[in-house]
């Protein structure tokens, strides 16, 4: 699992760097910004998903609640939902995501400067194939 998360994080960084390259003229809302750049997101997602295909995780990016950019990682096979398994996943994911806190903070700053949306949140979510949330972590400025 730790190796899968490391591979997935490498693909995530490709997405984060790609977001940094997407620019807009005026200041749209986060929803509008995402819609205007949908084709670029899809290209980045296709590349990221191809690189993590063997890990049993698929990735997606969506905007929720108008100010939350959500990176969704969906397991292709069900992950156990007992307390010990979820605690192990949280420990592993937290240790991996801790090392990217600076990048997420910078991305939050960039999104707030490029959009008219206040209080932007970047959320990482792991889901089972049935949509059950296994893990979630928010990054704010």
CA angle 63, 67, 68 (to 5 degrees): 50
Q: Which domain holds residue 48?
A: 2-139
Q: What's the CA gap between 91 and 16, in Å, rounded?
A: 23
Confidence of residue 18 (pLDDT cuts 50, 70, 90): low
Q: What's the CA gap between 88 and 80, in Å, rounded?
A: 11
Structural domain count, the chain: 1
* Contacts with 59 (C-beta within 8 Å, 6 or more apart), sequence order: 8, 11, 12, 15, 45, 48, 49, 52, 71, 72, 73, 74
Tens digits of residue pLDDT in 64-105: 999 999 999 999 999 999 999 999 999 999 998 898 899 999
Tens digits of residue pLDDT in 36-52: 889 998 998 999 899 88
């Amino acid at each position: 699992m730790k190796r899968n998360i490391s591979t997935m994080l490498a693909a995530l960084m490709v997405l984060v760097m790609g977001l940094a390259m997407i620019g807009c003229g005026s200041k749209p809302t986060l929803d509008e910004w995402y819609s205007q750049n949908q084709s670029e997101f899809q290209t980045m997602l296709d590349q990221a998903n191809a690189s993590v295909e063997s890990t049993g995780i698929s990735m997606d990016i969506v905007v929720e609640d108008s100010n939350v950019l959500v990176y969704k990682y969906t397991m292709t096979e069900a992950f156990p939902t007992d307390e010990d398994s979820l605690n192990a996943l949280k420990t592993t994911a937290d240790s991996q995501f801790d090392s990217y806190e600076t990048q997420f903070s910078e991305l939050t700053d960039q999104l707030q400067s490029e959009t008219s949306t206040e209080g932007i949140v970047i959320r990482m979510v792991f889901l089972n194939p049935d949509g059950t949330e296994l893990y979630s972590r928010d990054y704010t400025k």
